Structure 1
Amino acid sequence: MTLPSWRDEKLGTMKRAALWLVTVVGEEGTFTKEDVKNAFPGISQADRRVRDLRDYGWRIATHREDARLGQHEQRFVAQGQPVWERGKATKDSSAITDTQRRKILTADGNRCRSCGITPGQVYTDSFETAQIDIARRKVKLPNGTASVQHVAECNRCRVGGRSLEADLGAVLEDVSKLGGLQLQTLTGWIAADEREFSVVERIWSDFRTLPAESRDKVCEALGLPPA
């Protein structure tokens, strides 16, 4: 089926923007606001019409979702509904509103639930600062069904955790087996929504990130054979 021309002004800006992404940018292609401005000269809200496509199932990533992108870059990840076709422009009911987004961030302590980093905090291995956004996480419920729930995640964890699935039933089962000091310790961590790692745990974490040659040096210092 031949697509309409994205240059056809009778279609409206959002439909034209969708066609421009498909025919000019292409899936996995990158673009900037300046590219949108040049493609639709004289249309002041063209970049907003591109953002509106997310409400119709279009996946367009920014540097918040894809750490490989520059601050002004966006990536056309996947096409959603063919909004240029009659009757196909139906909004995606899974899209969240700004109010819902703020509620989720507040409930999650305004921090990444995967690594714990907060907005603006610098990652330990770089000069890059974290940005927190909303991700969708598939959760296996105790009754065997699955639910897609929203969770706050940083730009790095969102990229690496798209295929992750949480198992609520397994967590609840593990909790039920705890007792005494272990249960008290876990309760304290959950109440504070924070866990302080010991010096040994931090060293172990740092050790795991070392290349083999450097790990061997640590083993030598401890009188151990090479790792």
Structure 2
Amino acid sequence: MALPSWTDTKYGTMKRAALWLVTVIGEDGTFTKEDIKLAFPGISQADRRVRDLRDYGWQIDTQREDASLGQHEQRFVKQGAPVWEPGKATKASVSVTQTQRREVLAKDGHLCRSCGIAPGETYAGSYESAQLDIARRTVKQPSGGEKVELVAECNRCRVGGRGNSVDLGALLASVAKLGGLERKMLTGWVSEDKRAFSTVERLWADYRSLPAESRAQVREALSLPSV
């Protein structure tokens, strides 16, 4: 079925913007606010209508989600609901309010819950500073259903972990099976909401991230046979 023309003014600006992204920009294509102005001359807040598409499942990244983008660039990553079709302009999610954002950041200790970095901290081995935002996480409930909850996450983890879900029921079942010593260790970490990693654990994490050639040098240093 052929798509309607994005220039057809019988559609609202948001629907036309969706069609423009699909037919002109294309998935993985980049654009700027100036491109939007040129495409929709004389239409005020056309860039806001593009942002509104995120509420319908469209993924449009900025530098906050994709560090490779320029300051004024956006990337059309994935199409959501075909909002130009009758009955399809139903919001997939409600935008996070500033009040919700403040509450989530406070509850999460102003830290990324995936990697633990704080806003403004520099990522190891780079000059890039972390920014915190609010992500939606699908949590599988012990009852069998699913619930979308809000969580603080940094710009790197948001991109890498987009679409991840957590099985709370499985986690709780595993906690129930812990022995006394393991349960005591976990209780301490949860109570402090942090865990200090030993030197050996940090070395293991660094080793796991190495390419094969470099891993071979570590194996040699440990007097292990090459693989």
Same fold judged by TM-score > 0.5?
yes
Q: Could you tell me which residue of structure 2 aligns to residue 118 of structure 1? A: 118
CA apart distance, 1:173: 1.9
With the length of structure 1 as denominator, give the TM-score of the two structures. 0.83
CA apart distance, 1:192: 1.7
CA apart distance, 1:42: 4.1
Closer/same/farther in 2, CA of residues 212 and 188 from structure 1, 3 Å limit:
same
1:17 aligns with 2:54: no
Q: Could you tell me which residue of structure 1 aligns to residue 59 of structure 2? A: 59
Q: Could you tell me which residue of structure 2 aligns to residue 103 of structure 1? A: 103
Alpha-carbon RMSD across the aligned residues, in angstroms, is: 2.7
Letter of the structure 2 residue corresponding to residue 109 of structure 1:
G
Letter of the structure 1 residue corresponding to residue 149 of structure 2:
Q
Q: 1:127-206, aligned counterparts within 5 Å?
A: 127-206=127-206
Summarize deviations over 1:161-190 as a string: whole Å, max 9, x none.
Answer: 234331212221222233444323222211
SS at match of 2:18: helix
Aligned equivalents of 1:81, 1:140: Cα separation in 2: 24
SS at match of 1:55: helix
Closer/same/farther in 2, CA of residues 226 and 87 from structure 1, 3 Å limit:
closer
Letter of the structure 2 residue corresponding to residue 209 of structure 1:
S
SS at match of 1:30: strand
Letter of the structure 1 residue corresponding to residue 77 of structure 2:
V
Percent of matched pairs sharing the same residue: 69
Aligned equivalents of 1:87, 1:168: Cα separation in 2: 34
Aligned equivalents of 2:28, 2:103: Cα separation in 1: 31
Give the unaligned 5+ runs of structure 1. Answer: none
Aligned length: 227
SS at match of 1:48: helix
Letter of the structure 2 residue corresponding to residue 71 of structure 1:
Q
Q: Could you tell me which residue of structure 2 aligns to residue 29 of structure 1? A: 29
